[in-house]
């Protein structure tokens, strides 16, 4: 298969996907996502025991998140379950073999959620992680928030969402985003050393384990009334002034001026 936004390799029992669209800072645009889905589909038919997800070359930005141009300007839920980014999380989470993120730059927005949807993450000292819907006035999904809550203390999850500020590499390893923090020069060798270890283990047991852990991590129980209430809160936001302002300001490259949440 031919890829334009990513590079795909298969060596031994290890598959590698490299983001290769730095002109858009490796944003999770719909075409890039479709290629990732194709690559994982292809890997699924091969004897791949583990996948490494990385940027093609070390740059300032590892991946810039959701392509804001693809978001609705207003009035529509910007993150329905059918959104390509939401779908990508599910594809990565449902992939039968583990996926390791190898991070050597800044990670933004939905790309940070993608890190949470990988099974492990290894980073160097330039890796940072920010989740930025509060900058856009965008109401995030409950399932996405839960990805963070299963990995970090709640106080830290709240700090990340409420401030929208990046977490640096040192703190990322301390709070549980990164499994390992290594020097840039050793990032690749450390990552593939772990990948090789995983490739020696039982792929059948690992596949069942991954499915079980995923189900358990997703299992927060809400009743319909509660969920419909949360959805109405989200709806107030995406129909409201902050979301319109947040998207406009982003596109106009200026600071947004947000207003008070009523009531």
Q: What are phi and psi of 84, to 5 degrees?
A: -55, -40
Smallest separation, CB 111 to Ni ion (Å): 13
Alpha carbon separation from 57 to 16, 63, 174, 250 (Å, rounded): 13, 12, 26, 27
Stretch that binds a copy of itself, among 25-33, 66-74, 102-110, 176-184 (CB under 8 A): 176-184
Binder among 9, 12, 47, 72 for a copy of itself (CB under 8 A): 47
Give the one entry of a copy of itself, Ni ion, none that residue 70 binds, where binding means its C-beta sits below a cut-off of 5 to 8 angstroms depending on kind.
Answer: Ni ion
Asked if 45 touches a copy of itself (CB under 8 A), the answer is yes
Contact 106, 168 (CB under 8 A): no
Asked if 254 touches a copy of itself (CB under 8 A), the answer is no
Q: Which is nearer to a copy of itself, 185 or 204 (CB)?
A: 204
**Near Ni ion in 73-92, by CB under 5 A:** 83
Q: Which is nearer to a copy of itself, 29 or 132 (CB)?
A: 132
Smallest separation, CB 29 to Ni ion (Å): 9
Binder among 70, 159, 188, 245 for Ni ion (CB under 5 A): 70
Asked if 252 touches a copy of itself (CB under 8 A), the answer is no
The structure tokens listed for 260 are 């008070």
Beta bridge partners, 52, equal: 16, 100
Asked if 34 touches Ni ion (CB under 5 A), the answer is no
Separation CA 8–CA 39 (nearest Å): 7
Binder among 92, 138, 169, 181 for a copy of itself (CB under 8 A): 138
Question: Position of tokens 């190898």?
Answer: 102
Question: Position of tokens 């930025």?
Answer: 132
Please name the residues in contact with 227: beta carbons below 8 A apart, sequence gap of 6 or more.
142
Give the one entry of Ni ion, a copy of itself, none that residue 44 binds, where binding means its C-beta sits below a cut-off of 5 to 8 angstroms depending on kind.
Answer: a copy of itself
Write b or e for each residue in 204-242: b if 16 or more Cβ atoms lie within 10 A of its Cβ, otherwise e. Answer: eebeeebeeebeeeeeeeeeeeeeeeeeeebeebbebbb
**Near a copy of itself in 177-236, by CB under 8 A:** 177-179, 194, 197-198, 200-213, 215-236
Number of residues near Ni ion (by CB under 5 A): 2
User: Does residue 164 come out as left (phi exceeding 0), alpha (psi in the -120 to 50 range) or beta?
Assistant: left
Asked if 248 touches a copy of itself (CB under 8 A), the answer is no
Asked if 130 touches a copy of itself (CB under 8 A), the answer is no
């Amino acid at each position: 298969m031919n890829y334009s936004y990513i590079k795909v390799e298969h060596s031994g029992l290890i598959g590698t996907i490299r983001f290769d669209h730095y002109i858009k800072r490796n944003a999770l645009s719909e075409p890039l996502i479709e290629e990732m889905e194709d690559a994982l589909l292809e890997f699924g038919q091969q004897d791949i025991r583990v996948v490494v997800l990385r940027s093609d070359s070390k740059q300032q930005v590892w991946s810039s998140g959701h392509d804001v141009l693809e978001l609705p300007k207003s009035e529509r839920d910007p993150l329905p379950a059918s959104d390509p980014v939401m779908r990508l999380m599910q594809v990565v989470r449902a992939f039968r073999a583990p996926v390791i993120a190898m991070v050597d730059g800044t990670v933004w927005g939905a790309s940070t959620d993608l890190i949470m949807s990988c099974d492990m993450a290894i980073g160097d000292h330039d890796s940072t992680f920010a989740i930025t819907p509060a900058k856009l006035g965008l109401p995030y999904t409950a399932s996405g928030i839960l990805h963070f809550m299963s990995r970090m203390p709640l106080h830290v999850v709240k700090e990340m969402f409420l401030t929208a500020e990046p977490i640096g590499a040192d703190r990322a390893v301390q709070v549980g985003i990164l499994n390992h923090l290594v020097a840039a020069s050793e990032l690749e060798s450390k990552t593939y050393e772990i990948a090789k270890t995983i490739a020696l283990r039982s792929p059948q047991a690992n596949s069942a384990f991954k499915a079980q852990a995923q189900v358990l991590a997703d299992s927060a129980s809400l009743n319909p009334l509660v969920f419909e209430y949360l959805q109405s809160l989200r709806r107030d936001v995406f129909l409201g002034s902050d979301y319109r302002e947040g998207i406009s300001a982003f596109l106009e490259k200026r600071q947004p001026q947000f207003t008070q949440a009523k009531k």
